[in-house]
Amino acid sequence: MEFRSLYEYLGRAAGSDLGKAVATAAVAQGVTIQSQEISNPKYTGTVMMYPVEFLDQYFGKGVKPETTVQNILDDELPF
């Protein structure tokens, strides 16, 4: 199982409000959370890391659309 921090997943700093919301959702769903100590010029401390599958679900990525070519052809065209 691959784990990523919100920064790694989003490609930007998430901020404390989003971080708390994601952590709350993960705990409510019983998701395993890991932590990692980091140190860089902008931040030194602990970051939470979540399974990529959970992050995909939380942020709506990896959801396959239900639209197919046949569905489009079955719809009435407006002209």
Token pair of 57 as six digits? 């679900």
Distance (Å) of CA 18 to CA 1, 23, 68: 23, 9, 34
Do the Cβ atoms of 55 and 13 come closer than 8 Å? no
Token pair of 23 as six digits? 């952590």
**CA 23 – CA 38 distance, rounded (Å):** 18
- Residue 31 pLDDT more than 60? yes
pTM above 0.85, yes or no: no
Could you read off the pLDDT of 2-23 as tens digits, one per residue?
Answer: 999 999 999 998 888 999 999 9
Q: Report the alpha-carbon angle 6-57-35, nearest 5.
A: 35
